[in-house]
Chain A
Amino acid sequence: MEGILKNAGEIALHAVHARGLEGEAFLMYDRELNIEVSDGQVETLQEAEQMGLGLRVFNGGRMGFAYSSDLSEKAIEEMVENAVHISEFTAADEFNRFPEGDQAYPVIKTFDEGISAVTIADKIDIAREAERAARAFDPRIKLVERAGYEDSEYSTLVMNSRGLYAFGKGNYCGLQISLVADEDDDTQNGFAFTMQREIASLNPKSVGEEAAMKAVRSLGGRTIPSARIQCIMDPYVVTRFMGLLSSSIEADAVQKGKSMLADKMGRQVASRPITLLDDGTNKDGIASFPFDGEGVASSRNMIIENGDLVGFLYDTNSGLKAGLKSTGNGIRGSFRSLPGVGITNLMLKPGLDSQESLIGDIGQGFYITEVMGMHTANPITGDFSVGAAGIMIEQGQLTFPVRGITVAGNLLRLLQDIEAVGNDLRFYGGKAAASIRLNSINIGGH
């Protein structure tokens, strides 16, 4: 695969150089398998394969970008022409430079032979097992919408006019299940997923049981009066709020005044229990890779340390603007998009207490297990007002399920309100979090 990608990249860069400009070719090949099972039967089996090239050119600081999934010489020549044409219209930026070739790449195991060795039939069985476990967990699980297994194998190559050349190969697999519990005319959804670097780490039974547990515990939920009370946030809900925070730790948002943390470097922005880092080299992280979308070496970057804001994430352009180096966070979704500052594995450092002990000394509080409409929160100001569901806490015990309420507030305030972080750290895709306890949150009910 490397040879095919390299050849296309060389044709593109050659054509860029012939016009006296500098360029960067990002090439990707990936192959995905998706299996969906329902009632023990395969419902969909999907195999996808794609390859493509995204080309950036710098024309006196002006950037042009074009992509193509057609890697014929003619298509590449047209793409170069397009990218160069576009570069004549964009604004010049003196920090539009490609990273140098002298990168020292970390050694990370990103490829599991096991994923390609396991047969499709056995992968179907993994999904079936999750479904079986969910149904066996509780008779009120009436319906399994789907149990899905997926894996992806990808090769990435970056080369630029500054002599940078990087090639890497990776894969991962995942399992997800969504289902419905039904009792006394009430139906509640349950969902669980996991993504792993190694197929041996997939645990279908625990994924199935987790989804079933979530659905069953929500049955019979009712709304509660509006209140401002203590709360525990489930790790998954914490990752949703980390997603809201993530754009504010990206240097381009900071430089454009679109970050709620813009003028807070070196200051305390969260309570002392909070330490947050982005680690593109973590051995368990799904987003770990030796280099980013610009070919810059991945690294481990502290963002909030014991409550103090200590760093932002940079790509090459925003790094140069700040007089710093790229932190290896020039992220690309695919060959179709430009690199931009983004997170790799965003991780909250766990604390010492179990979730039970965090709940244990709450007199009256609320355990948030689910938030809806998080995409409506404002990533610039941190203001949020989202739908929520969860379980009431009374005298240190989880009591009755609650639904149809909103939780509202501001993310910066929420960070200050965190009293403790639990020890139940868990990865959800590229984000890892543990339970947190807040001294109070606004609940809008009836």
Chain B
Amino acid sequence: MVEKELLARVLEKAMEKGGDFAEIYIEEKLTSNVLCEDDRIEKINSGREKGAGIRLIKDGKTFYVSTNDLSAAGLLKAAAVVNHGMETHSREIGPAITLSLQEAGFPMEFLRLPEQVDFAEKIEHVLKANNIARNLDKEIRQVTVAVGDMHKKVQIANSNGELIEDETARVRFLVNAVASRAGQIQTGYEVAGGVSGWELLNQVSLEDMANQAAIRALAMLSARPAPAGRMPVVMHSEAGGTMVHEACGHGLEADLVQKGLSVYQDKMGQQVANEEVSVIDDATLPGKYGSFRWDDEGSPARRTLLIDNGFLQGFLYDRLTANKDGVQSSGNGRRESYQDKPIPRMSNTFITSGGDEPDRIIKDTARGLLVKKMGGGQVNTTNGDFVFDVQEGYIIENGEIKYPVRGATLIGNGPRALMNIDRVGKDLGFGIGVCGKDSQGVAVGDAQPTIRIKELTVGGTFMTEGPQIKRIRRK
């Protein structure tokens, strides 16, 4: 990594013509991926990347320069470019900067770092999973198994004199199974991952995932088309947290709120959800996919209460937006890589558990849709309209799970859907994903208990004459 003295010199150079805040982010990252498809190891890759991003803030304006030249000359040149962008030509003398290393709030341990696990072992797990899915039934026609991992070291130094040195690792598994019967194709997938080394295998079995994915693909072959219209929707905790991520998470990101692009602006302290509903963003959860010790601008990770029993309590802040509102960063300043400036992002976002027995919620539903697994989603934060798809759904009639349906898309409005949550289960289930915003993808976790929403629009396919509807989202 880069010497502390050089980091200080680069910051001084960046501040040479003035500025309110300067920061340098150094990243060194190793990645690897193994892909099995068509019953063979098709691709393996391994990558090494390093680079620096230098940021200068002046009067709310951000100047950002990135390079992968980490030599002293390269970094100083980048610092000169960043302050070259300054419009004012004041002859202020920049401050002298002394950096002091910050202590992390909690430890993070990685037992088996990605580069310490040989490809031979990774491949063994991948092939085993592939065989399990393929051997389950001859209607399984194609299986994709992918494992990916990442290990990175970062240094973050800023003109406040703070220096952070951190390290993290992530491992991710994916299985996608394709089943076919009489010209009809259905897919099922399972994805799992965490901020972890390969010890993740102690918690997650790639073989079980393969089994689940194949079973789901087969089950959906005999599913009926989903009905369309408004109806009660029970979302099982196993479904993952796509709904909370889209229906409220994005709308609580402070940059969108401050720009007037959130349906939740001006709602602080007001009721925005049913009183049964509390929403939290927590980067400190051990091992979850969106967890970290420091955010990507060196603020300590936090647990932030966003909605407290229905009332809006907090937004997700990075340094820049926190400064604007005169509050402290909530530790949600994240970036995809050294090439991107940090912006407010979710970490692990979830609706907290309530008091209902999950089975009871289903039993008390006369008619509706049970969502067992959600796919991807999308939201328009300005008006709160969201849409996401259902990977695995069932029709509930008279409190009983009747038959599987496919092709359901759920459409709703964030605040309205949250107000309409009338039952909250005592369970909690996590999902993982890569969340995209401003062309930056970051790893997030999301979760919810089993909940019931009184009414959502289900866009089904009851009128379709041709092949039945369903869809896929490889997270």
| Residue ranges of A at the interface with B (Cβ–Cβ < 8 Å) | 38, 41-52, 63-70, 75, 78-79, 82-83, 85-86, 89-91, 120, 142-143, 145, 180, 186-189, 226, 228, 256-258, 336, 338, 372-373, 375-387, 403-406, 408-410, 412-413, 442, 444, 446
Interface residues of B in 36-95 (CB under 8 A from A): 37-38, 40-51, 60-69, 81-82, 85, 87
Contact call B260/A143, Cβ cutoff below 8 A: yes
> What are 7 residue pairs bridging A and B, where the CB atoms are less than 8 Å apart in the complex?
A45-B62, A46-B64, A47-B64, A67-B48, A226-B463, A373-B378, A383-B468
In angstroms, Cα B62 to Cα A43, docked, is: 6
In angstroms, Cα B66 to Cα A304, docked, is: 43
B138 — which chain A residues lie within 8 A by C-beta? none
Contact call B45/A383, Cβ cutoff below 8 A: no
6 cross-chain pairs, A with B, having the tightest CB-CB distances, nearest first: A406-B459, A91-B40, A387-B387, A444-B459, A376-B389, A46-B64
- Judged by a CB distance under 8 angstroms, whether B228 is at the interface is yes
- Judged by a CB distance under 8 angstroms, whether B403 is at the interface is no
Select one of A90, A188, A405, A442 contacting B463, CB under 8 A.
Answer: A442
Contact call B466/A49, Cβ cutoff below 8 A: no
In angstroms, Cα B453 to Cα A242, docked, is: 35
A66 — which chain B residues lie within 8 A by C-beta? 45-48
A186 — which chain B residues lie within 8 A by C-beta? 383
CB-nearest residue of chain A to B65: A47
Contact call B378/A387, Cβ cutoff below 8 A: yes
A50 — which chain B residues lie within 8 A by C-beta? 51, 66-68, 339
Select one of A49, A145, A446 contacting B67, CB under 8 A.
Answer: A49
B40 — which chain A residues lie within 8 A by C-beta? 91
Additional 11 contacts, C-beta under 8 A, given A49-B67, A404-B457 = A43-B61, A47-B65, A49-B65, A68-B49, A187-B383, A258-B142, A376-B377, A387-B459, A406-B387, A409-B464, A444-B459
Select one of A377, A382, A403, A409 contacting B385, CB under 8 A.
Answer: A403
Give the interface SS of chain B, mostly helix, strand, loop or mixed.
Answer: strand
| Residue ranges of B at the interface with A (Cβ–Cβ < 8 Å) | 37-38, 40-51, 60-69, 81-82, 85, 87, 119-120, 123, 141-142, 178, 185, 187, 228-230, 259-261, 339, 341, 375-378, 380, 382-383, 385, 387-389, 407-409, 411, 457, 459-461, 463-464, 466-473
Contact call B472/A378, Cβ cutoff below 8 A: yes
Contact call A381/B43, Cβ cutoff below 8 A: no
Contact call B389/A373, Cβ cutoff below 8 A: yes
Contact call A89/B44, Cβ cutoff below 8 A: yes
Contact call A386/B64, Cβ cutoff below 8 A: no
CB-nearest residue of chain B to A376: B389
Contact call B67/A44, Cβ cutoff below 8 A: no
In angstroms, Cα B461 to Cα A383, docked, is: 10
A226 — which chain B residues lie within 8 A by C-beta? 228-229, 463
Contact call B51/A69, Cβ cutoff below 8 A: yes
Contact call B45/A67, Cβ cutoff below 8 A: yes
A403 — which chain B residues lie within 8 A by C-beta? 385
B468 — which chain A residues lie within 8 A by C-beta? 383
A143-B261, A385-B471, A446-B457 known; A256 and B38 CB under 8 Å?
yes
Contact call B409/A386, Cβ cutoff below 8 A: yes
Interface hub of A41, A376, A403 (most chain B Cβ within 10 A): A376
Interface hub of A42, A68, A189, A373 (most chain B Cβ within 10 A): A373
In angstroms, Cα B66 to Cα A142, docked, is: 34
Contact call B48/A70, Cβ cutoff below 8 A: yes
Contact call A446/B229, Cβ cutoff below 8 A: yes
Contact call A89/B141, Cβ cutoff below 8 A: no
CB-nearest residue of chain A to B469: A383
A47 — which chain B residues lie within 8 A by C-beta? 64-66, 81-82, 85
Shortest Cβ gap from A384 to chain B (Å): 7
Contact call B341/A46, Cβ cutoff below 8 A: yes
Shortest Cβ gap from A237 to chain B (Å): 15
Shortest Cβ gap from A446 to chain B (Å): 7
Contact call A376/B49, Cβ cutoff below 8 A: no
Contact call B470/A442, Cβ cutoff below 8 A: no
Contact call A188/B382, Cβ cutoff below 8 A: yes
In angstroms, Cα B229 to Cα A410, docked, is: 20
Shortest Cβ gap from A315 to chain B (Å): 14
Contact call A442/B47, Cβ cutoff below 8 A: no
A381 — which chain B residues lie within 8 A by C-beta? 185, 467, 470
Contact call B472/A68, Cβ cutoff below 8 A: no
A43 — which chain B residues lie within 8 A by C-beta? 60-62
A89-B123, A410-B467 known; A338 and B45 CB under 8 Å?
yes
Contact call A180/B62, Cβ cutoff below 8 A: no
Contact call B469/A408, Cβ cutoff below 8 A: yes
CB-nearest residue of chain B to A88: B119
Shortest Cβ gap from B289 to chain A (Å): 19
In angstroms, Cα B31 to Cα A68, docked, is: 10
B65 — which chain A residues lie within 8 A by C-beta? 46-49
A226-B463, A258-B142, A380-B185 known; A44 and B48 CB under 8 Å?
no
Contact call B260/A68, Cβ cutoff below 8 A: no
In angstroms, Cα B38 to Cα A45, docked, is: 46
CB-nearest residue of chain B to A64: B44
A86 — which chain B residues lie within 8 A by C-beta? 44-46, 119
Contact call B464/A408, Cβ cutoff below 8 A: yes
Contact call A383/B467, Cβ cutoff below 8 A: yes
Interface hub of B49, B388, B408 (most chain A Cβ within 10 A): B49
A382 — which chain B residues lie within 8 A by C-beta? 467
In angstroms, Cα B85 to Cα A224, docked, is: 51
Select one of B46, B463, B471 contacting A228, CB under 8 A.
Answer: B463
Interface hub of B383, B388, B408 (most chain A Cβ within 10 A): B383
A50-B339, A63-B43, A378-B471 known; A120 and B85 CB under 8 Å?
yes
Contact call B259/A442, Cβ cutoff below 8 A: no
Contact call A377/B471, Cβ cutoff below 8 A: yes
Shortest Cβ gap from A174 to chain B (Å): 12
Select one of A377, A405, A410 contacting B466, CB under 8 A.
Answer: A410
Shortest Cβ gap from B375 to chain A (Å): 6
Contact call A387/B411, Cβ cutoff below 8 A: yes
Shortest Cβ gap from A394 to chain B (Å): 21
A70 — which chain B residues lie within 8 A by C-beta? 48-50, 68
Shortest Cβ gap from B331 to chain A (Å): 21
Contact call B142/A257, Cβ cutoff below 8 A: yes
Contact call A49/B66, Cβ cutoff below 8 A: yes
In angstroms, Cα B473 to Cα A376, docked, is: 6
CB-nearest residue of chain A to B184: A381
Contact call A145/B259, Cβ cutoff below 8 A: yes
B463 — which chain A residues lie within 8 A by C-beta? 226, 228, 408, 442
B259 — which chain A residues lie within 8 A by C-beta? 38, 143, 145
A338-B45, A404-B385, A442-B464 known; A383 and B409 CB under 8 Å?
no
Shortest Cβ gap from B208 to chain A (Å): 24
A78 — which chain B residues lie within 8 A by C-beta? 48
Shortest Cβ gap from A417 to chain B (Å): 10
In angstroms, Cα B230 to Cα A226, docked, is: 11
B187 — which chain A residues lie within 8 A by C-beta? 378, 380
Contact call B42/A90, Cβ cutoff below 8 A: yes
Contact call B382/A373, Cβ cutoff below 8 A: no
Contact call B459/A408, Cβ cutoff below 8 A: yes
B60 — which chain A residues lie within 8 A by C-beta? 43
In angstroms, Cα B46 to Cα A66, docked, is: 5
A412 — which chain B residues lie within 8 A by C-beta? 466
A82 — which chain B residues lie within 8 A by C-beta? 46
A372 — which chain B residues lie within 8 A by C-beta? 378, 380, 385, 387
Shortest Cβ gap from A276 to chain B (Å): 21
Shortest Cβ gap from B170 to chain A (Å): 17
Contact call A383/B387, Cβ cutoff below 8 A: no
Contact call B460/A385, Cβ cutoff below 8 A: yes
Shortest Cβ gap from A312 to chain B (Å): 18
In angstroms, Cα B49 to Cα A398, docked, is: 52
